[in-house]
Amino acid sequence: MFQPPRPPTVFLLSQGDEVITGQTVDTNAATLSEWLTELGFLVTRRVTVGDVMHDIVAAIAEGLNSADVLICTGGLGPTADDLTAEALGTVLGVPLVLHEPSLEHIQAIFTLIGRRMSDANRKQAMLPQGATPLQNNFGTAPGFSVESPRQGQAPAVGYFLPGVPREMKGMWAEHLKPDLIRRFSLSPGRLITFRCMGAPESQLEEIMRPFQGIDGVTVGFRAMSPEVQVKLRVRPDVTDERLIPLIAQVQAAIGKAVFGVDTGALEDVIVAALIERGETLATAESCTGGRLSAAITSVAGASAAFMEGACVYANEAKMRTCDVDAGALAQYGAVSEIVARQLAEGIRERAGTTYGLSTTGVAGPGGGTPEKPVGTVHVALATPQGTFHRQLRLGGDRDRITRYAAASALDLLRRHLQGVLHGDNL
């Protein structure tokens, strides 16, 4: 029976007391696992160790002996507990030597920010003899790579990167990704990502079943709460003649829940659409307390479309800022369809924008009633064509409820902008 060639294997090593004790969440391993898998590697182990020399030495040795690639993050700083370079030197049986260009790079960074370089930072330019330096254009600590012989196999390659996620990601793009593709002659194929809102992962899995057996295409899912991504991993031999109709078929099958294909986040899609249409937005938030405006303004260039956001928590603020009717508040309460509509219409009128978007609800853990339990949320969108409303019943704690409420409000606007919002057809 034909056996396909084994993909190259990767051993991921994260280190640091702050990581192993949970004070810092290790996002590096998850990010690298995803990127490596997309390139066609097989991540076989993810190991975390603290700032203990013999533990780091043992983990590095295991990684270089058991996998084709070792990627280690952390332990390249200037302090006494940063032990990666020394540990690697122990594994390889080589001393640490000063790499003058790295030292000059570190000194230049301190000069640029107007600070004196500490003598401790000199340690960061001490690299294992024979290692290939990897310049860090995102921080002071240089990375480095080594080749380690293995009996009866091709040498393993080890990459050693800073633990700061921003620095790790920058060095991945500049150094690791191109070097890995070159070393392993990879043809990574393509990854098509359908970004979805308003459809649970179980429903999307059912929708995608007819696509599961297509030759050269693997279907995967990633739940990002509240977004769900549907991923098509496509082999390099799948032609555009096959792929383009397939993308259209998947998008049609998922339907209005798809807010983008290979796009940015929901707020990126919304800001881009508003700018393209020459339209503007203002928000009035009660239960979400600013999450809507924070999401929109996290997008570079949002000032071209976003005019203002009001956090109208108290009833007095709702009346004063958005002209919500006191009688409506008294009769229906702040958490109601009529108040959500008046908030959206009032902020739109006040700001003179194309759209007004509002949220009001019971975020908990207290404040719920049998008629309006915790998780009851109303969102509304005021448009030139009229006002649209949606009522939600959300579960979870306060953070989850407000996060989902803000995302649902944004999705209401997205559906209008993409022409899939018609009356109650949400």
The one-character DSSP state at 176 is: I
Q: Is residue 4 part of a domain?
A: no
257 and 272 part of one domain: no
Count CA within 13 A, CB hemisphere, residue 348.
Answer: 21
Q: Is residue 423 part of a domain?
A: no
Strand pairing category for 69-73 and 153-161:
parallel
Q: Nearest 5 degrees, angle CA 249-CA 253-CA 258?
A: 100
Closest CA to 354 of 302, 280, 275, 415: 280
Q: Which domain holds residue 147?
A: 9-184
Query: How do residues 193-213 score in pLDDT, each as one tens digit?
Result: 999 999 999 999 999 999 998
* Residue found under tokens 């990127």: 35
| Domain limit, last residue, from 125, 156, 184 | 184
> Would you state the pLDDT for residue 157?
98
Interval 54-66 mean pLDDT: 97
Q: Cβ(301)–Cβ(375) under 8 Å? A: no
- Provide the β-strand partners of residue 378: 360, 391
User: What percent of the chain stands above pLDDT 70?
Assistant: 97
214 and 175 part of one domain: no
- Provide the β-strand partners of residue 309: 283
Burial of 342 (0-12, 13-18, 19+ CB in 10 A): buried
Q: Is residue 1 part of a domain?
A: no
13 and 157 part of one domain: yes
* Residue found under tokens 């956001």: 309
Has residue 306 got a pLDDT over 70? yes
How many C-beta atoms lie closer than 10 Å to residue 164's C-beta? 18
30 and 178 part of one domain: yes
| Domain limit, last residue, from 131, 163, 184 | 184
21 and 96 part of one domain: yes
Torsion sign across C-alpha atoms 234, 235, 240, 242? negative
Number of domains in the chain: 3
272 and 252 part of one domain: no
52 and 144 part of one domain: yes
How far is it, in rounded angstroms, from Cα 226 to Cα 253? 20
Has residue 96 got a pLDDT over 50? yes
> Would you state the pLDDT for residue 5?
59
**pTM, entire model:** 0.79
